[in-house]
Structure 1
Amino acid sequence: MLLLASCEKNLDIKPTAELESEYFESELRVQEGVGACYAGLHNLYGPLLNDGGGIHQILLLPGDDITHQDASRGAMEAFSGLNSANGEVNMLWTRLYQIIYRCNFMLEKLEEEAVKAVYTTEGLNAINKGEVLFVRAWCFYRLWDFFRKAPLQDTRIRTIADAVLPPSEGFQLLDKAIEDLELAATLLPDETYWPLETERGRVFNESAYGMLVKCYTLRARYNQANAADYGKAITAFEKITTRQLVHFANNFDYRYENNAESLFELQASHATDQDNAWLDNNFGGGVGQMGAMYHYSTSHWGNYVSGIYGPTKKLINAYEADDPRKGYTFANFTTNVNGDTNIPTPPWDKFDGYQLMKYVYPGRCWFEKVWGISSTNNTRLLRYGDVKLLAAEAYLQTGNTSAALQQVNDIRERARRSTEDGSPSTSPANLTAVSMATIMHERFIELAAEEGIRWTDLRSWHMAGFINLSTWTAQDFGYNYDAQNFEFEAPKHLLYPIPQREMNTNPLMASSGNNPGYD
């Protein structure tokens, strides 16, 4: 015992692995726990070069806006051979549940009296609860959207039995996301509460209202264009009063992160020396990548996992010639890994000469200097332009055509002001009438290649009866290869298969069977 005792307090070094009961000893430590919930998102949008390259294939390839340089990504672009053993599907499921687990853990801790006692900032405990509820709701929204039936895990797992849960039914997961967001909106502060120097990017009350617009609109579509849900989306939208549209390109520019249009962003950054793009931020081990992955649209060697993505012919032809958004979405020049406009770049010979430019536009992107893999440019997960167009749909479906038209024309007027030199373009002109067709088209060109929005839109519009994907050809989907390789089936491919690992380990999920059409 004498050998183990120290003479001075500063020699009493804590063990490297602290007990849970000892960890939350200060308000700062609690903030680190809340931050861990946000940090899980990096395992979705970072490079993850040893683990499938993130979820970009799932987010970008299905749909009609983005394609691949070859036909080798058939499971996601052509739906050929898509099954429950697919690596990207399994990773998405696992990563979402890892974030949910962190959230459930922190929600439990935030209710403990011993943890509440360490707070020195009045009201911060409730705000932290709102933050964690928001992140968990975002995951529930994604699980419902992609898989529909998945275990509703809203409490901390303490035993193996706690992890064996039945599949959700109907709207259960989406309803839970809405419940969490409605509460979060009452707990979260105004954006001005967070100090810009140290806390930029933490969610605020209007973040929750923006996600509620997405959730209510999605539920409305899947519920036969339900007017009551559209009305709730409008109520949430009209509570967003501080957001405004900014220059279109600033939404993808590292110099204008967390701007006035932003509602929720992945806070991309770099480690002190460099990112390790081969490590994730999972439980245990050191922190790996902290930046975002955008090299799926460039010829950088770091895209060996993803290959190269680009615009479909359908997307290329969708814009008016003078629409400024076109050049910021894809362009007939290339970018280098540092985004330096002074460095010459080789010609681009893919996708009819057009490179996908969102997040890698020269002068607007920033990659870490050692490997040039990770970008510090935040991934914009939810922005006001997206929410306004969802509100346009809600207004239209509830009979307020003038409000619907106003939302669409606001987006188009912003597009005209988004030229490189600031002189307004003549295109796109304001519309004189609005319909679901015009709203759907505006979402296509405004939100192309962003965060999986297009595939969510197409599937849910199909369920609402606004379009019929069953009649779409390979060309309608923007598939540029042999149409015989295109195997889309509705309703089968409207959902992803439940991962085989879940079916093997959860008897309740296994007994319910996989999603329709999958073995």
Structure 2
Amino acid sequence: MMTQYKCYNPAPILATLLLLLLNSCANRLDINPTAELESEYFESELRVQEGVGACYAGFYNLYGPLLNDGGGSHQILLLPGDDITHQDAGRGAMEAFAGLNSANGEVNMLWTRLYQIIYRCNFMLEKLEEEPVKAIYRTVGLNDINKGEVLFLRAWAFHRLWDFFRKAPLQDTRIRTIADAILPPTQDFQMLDKAIEDLELAATLLPASSYWKAETERGRVFDESAYGLLVKCYTLRARYKKADAGDYQKAIVAFEKIKTRQLVHFAENFDYKHENNAESLFELQASHATDQDNAWLDNNFGGGAGQMGAMYHYSTSHWGNYVSGIYGPTKKLIAAYDGGDPRKEYTFAKFTTNVSGNTEVKAPAWDKFDGYQLMKYVYPGRCWFEKVWGISSTNNTRLIRYADIKLLAAEAYLQTGNAAAALVQVNDVRARARRSTEDGKMSASPANRTAITMQAIMNERFVELAAEEGIRWTDLRSWHAAGFIDLSSWTARDFGYNYDTANFEFQVPRHLLFPIPQREMNTNPLMVAAGNNPGYE
């Protein structure tokens, strides 16, 4: 079914925040306020839910079209790595690391949009602790549940900032003055540790998935969402601590608390008719603005005409991809699948999406990427786009799914000496792949493995999770840190880069992190004193 829970429009909350910024000038202005004041806004339990919804809504600015604001963050999340390439060799900063520096627009947008989510979360966490706000609740336990939701969302942003930038300042309280915003860079694992602390608390506050009403609230995070993200965070920290057994064991503890998730047909994870399914742990709740889903606006616009959808036309020939261009599978990814693996056609195929007509019908192949088009979220018959411009999709972006977590658990089991349990997780994923045929008949491929190695787990993550935003580049860099691979020895072809290798500029350690954005370097003297990330000074 299509998404049931859709985030509330955050415009009233954002208007309140704007008024707060102008509050110091209020005694000089002899005018009435043009929006509700913060002190008056949270008058009912529903209004608090709208505030929590504004925290979820920050994710639209990462995964939506935003055609007048540089596009979503797809380029920076998809192109680095070895699974996805661009049709245009000129998109070199993300794919070839050519000229990547602090002024890069993609870097600045990702940084800014993650901190926007954090600011909204800090605002709501403060409100949820205020006694007048607590007093308006009518649903027993909902205040704690709301805290759990907001802590989860903030932790998600923290762990992304740590992963991509490492020394980003830790903003864990509401910013009220300019001085409050001048924060020191974090050290070592400080921000990732904070994400884990938030998640451990969130897991105790969030309800079971069955708590949320399917008709109205489906898609809000639940206790197993927190455990899934904990697996990701503990595994990430373990890798950067040289395959630390203690953190791998903590990942296993979190994984074994996930009891209700199961693997569904592979294609259903990218199908608008099967959103928030049994494999899902966290999704962008893609929707449609009440009046018009305007792909040129951001989610903050309000008035029923902002954007609430997801953007996937980086995979298709639709004209709306003029910001992103077109992405496709690398030759390396094309060659990675076992013959007959059903996942291959649902990831990329030799037909295209009929974006100018009936999207239920397969269109002829094109001449790009050896004839293959990326298919996740745009597979004919499994995709949907709004009807005015045909740009935004209400097909949810799956941000954490159980197969990802099972393969991370396989790594944790193997690294703590339990190869048998690791083998079970990998073979579960491969068995699901065999069941995921279009006609329902069991495929013979991929066969179960009889033994397990770290290389086998890495290979499985490559084919299972290809073209899912932010996963592959995180895996490669952290496996390098753990010593499982050596990126310093990789050639342009190892990265799947098929253009002139003279344009490929990847360097270790420089490109293992993104640069701190120039705006932060210009405005934060504490960051200037610490210096940029290695290689970007």
TM class, shorter-length: over 0.9
Q: Deviations over 1:84-120 (max 9, x none)?
A: 0000100000000011000000000000000001000
Partner of 2:96: 78
CA-based RMSD:
1.3
Q: Is the 8 A contact 1:339 1:360 kept in 2?
A: no
Matched residue SS, 1:236: helix
Instruction: Verify: 1:245 aligned to 2:263, yes or no.
Output: yes
Give the 3-state SS of the residue equivalent to 1:396 in structure 2.
helix
Aligned letter for 1:455? W
Aligned pair partner of 1:439 in 457, 465, 472: 457
Which of 71, 82, 88 is residue 53 of structure 1 equivalent to? Answer: 71
Q: Name the counterpart of 1:472.
A: 490
TM-score by length of 1: 0.96
Q: What is the distance in 2 between the residues matched to 1:471 and 1:512?
A: 30
1:147 to 165, 188, 191: 165
- The match for 2:436 is 418
Deviation at 1:337, TM superposition (A): 2.4
- Residues 191-235 of structure 1: CA distance to partner in whole angstroms, max 9, x if unpaired? 000000000100000000000000000000000100000000000
Matched residue SS, 2:400: strand
Whole-Å separation in 1 of the counterparts to 2:67 and 2:176: 32
**Pairing of 1:310-325 with structure 2 (within 5 A):** 310-325=328-343
CA shift at 1:135, angstroms? 0.1
User: How far is the alpha carbon of 1:341 from its aligned partner?
Assistant: 5.2
Equivalent in the alignment of 1:9: none
User: What is the TM-score normalised by the length of structure 2?
Assistant: 0.93
Matches within 5 A, 1:198-209: 198-209=216-227
1:326 aligned to 2:344?
yes
**2:254 is aligned with 1:274:** no
C-alpha deviation, 1:271, in angstroms:
1.6
1:64 to 62, 65, 82: 82
SS of structure 1 residue aligned to 2:273: helix
Provide the rounded CA distance (Å) in 1 between the counterparts of 2:79 and 2:187: 28
**Aligned-pair CA distance for 1:344:** 6.5
**What does residue 385 of structure 1 align with?**
403
Match of 1:10 in 2: none
Q: CA deviation at 1:321?
A: 1.7
1:345, distance to aligned residue in structure 2 (A) = 2.8
- Does the residue aligned with 2:439 lie in a helix, a strand or coil? coil
Q: Which secondary structure state, in structure 2, belongs to the residue aligned with residue 265 of structure 1?
A: strand
The alpha-carbon deviation at position 72 of structure 1 amounts to 1.3
CA contact (8 A) 1:331 1:356 kept: yes
The 8 Å contact of residues 289 and 304 in structure 2, kept in 1 or not, is answered as no
Q: What are the Cα deviations for residues 479-514 of structure 1, in whole angstroms up to 9, with x where unaligned?
A: 010011000001100000000000101110111110
* Residue 448 of structure 2: aligned partner: 430
Paired residue type of 1:182: E
CA distance in 2, matches of 1:127, 1:266: 19
2:42 corresponds to which of 3, 24, 27: 24
1:128 and 2:152 aligned: no
Contact 1:274–1:368 (CA<8 Å) still a contact in 2?
Answer: no
Select between 254-263 and 274-283 the one with higher mean Cα deviation: 274-283
Mapping of 1:245-264 within 5 angstroms? 245-264=263-282
- 1:501 corresponds, among 512, 515, 519, to 519
Matched, 1:101 2:125: no
* Match for residue 351 of structure 1 among 362, 366, 369: 369
Show structure 1 runs of 4+ deviating over 4 A. Answer: 283-287, 341-344
For these two proteins, the number of residue pairs brought into alignment is 506
- Displacement of 1:287: 5.3
Counterpart selection for 1:40 from 58, 64, 76 = 58
Using the TM superposition, give the Cα deviation of residue 159 of structure 1 relative to its aligned residue in structure 2, in angstroms.
0.8
